[in-house]
Amino acid sequence: MFTKKAILVVSFGTSHLDTLDKNIKAIEQDIQNSYPDYKIYRAFTSQMIIKKLKSVHNISIHTVSSAMKKMQADGITEVMIQPTHIIHGIENDNMIKDAYQAKDAFTSIKISTPLLSTSEDYLKVVNILMKNYPVKKEEALVLMGHGTSHYANSSYPALSYTFTQQGYNNVFVGTVEGYPELEHLFDMINKQSIQHIKLLPFMLVAGDHALNDMDSNDEDSWKSKFLQEGYEVESIVKGLGEIKEIRELYLEHLNKAIHGESTILDFKLDTI
């Protein structure tokens, strides 16, 4: 039976097929299972990753703009967009702009929220991570976020504060391309009696940043930096999308948006 309703799942993307399946595809499948009456579409926001997937694996991935055109061509009239982004940063802004450009092609467009959107989300993420990656007194869990020049980079210090406020003083949040940087974390970690470091990417997928910036043997990687400081290091090369409860949180956001409770954009075409 043909449906005129669609859910577009928008991710930054990854060129690593294994982590794509374990994280992005897993979220898409959960969404399809939860909303069988909707047709599911995929889009990536990274042009570089889209080009690499095509050239290396001959896999074609839509941009947000081309996905909107594809849905229009398929006869879709109602569009629900769920980003898998962690924060409401540059990629999310661009996604909204691209989707809004196609507003006249559909009777309605709703855009749901990224992972960290409310104070409740921060608490839930803290509890989920502590359940899945508990740490002992002499251990520290160090989360590697992406970071951004966008003002939404404040989400990372806010998450760090939430961990501390909940009593997890041995969990630290840093970023590759924003604030706090790894050097800022050393200032705090070195003041504690920490012996063992658990490194975890605070990213949807365990892609290039996790494999190269976090876990490689390059002297500038986070693992190498901690080893140079004399710590034992354990790298957990898994994306957030591999955690069932994280995927369920995205589904919570989607469900609220579908029912009009929490959206970034809720556009309806005036048909009168």
**Nearest-angstrom CA–CA distance, 133 and 168:** 12
Catalytic residue status for 16? no
The answer to whether 85 is a known ligand-binding residue is no
Q: In the structure encoding, which two tokens stand for residue 196, read together?
A: 């063992």
Catalytic option among 146, 150, 196, 253: 146
* 169 in Cβ contact with 130 (< 8 Å): no
Write phi, then psi, for 236 (nearest 5 degrees).
-110, 100
Task: Kindly report whether the peptide bond that precedes residue 36 is cis, defined as omega within 30 degrees of 0.
Answer: no
The answer to whether 209 is a known ligand-binding residue is yes
Side chain identity at 259, as an amino acid letter?
Answer: H
Q: What is the DSSP string of 82-102?
A: EE--SSSSHHHHHHHHHHHHT
- Detail the residues annotated as belonging to a binding site: 146, 177, 209
Annotated catalytic residues are 146
- Detail the residues annotated as belonging to a binding site for Co(2+): 146, 177, 209
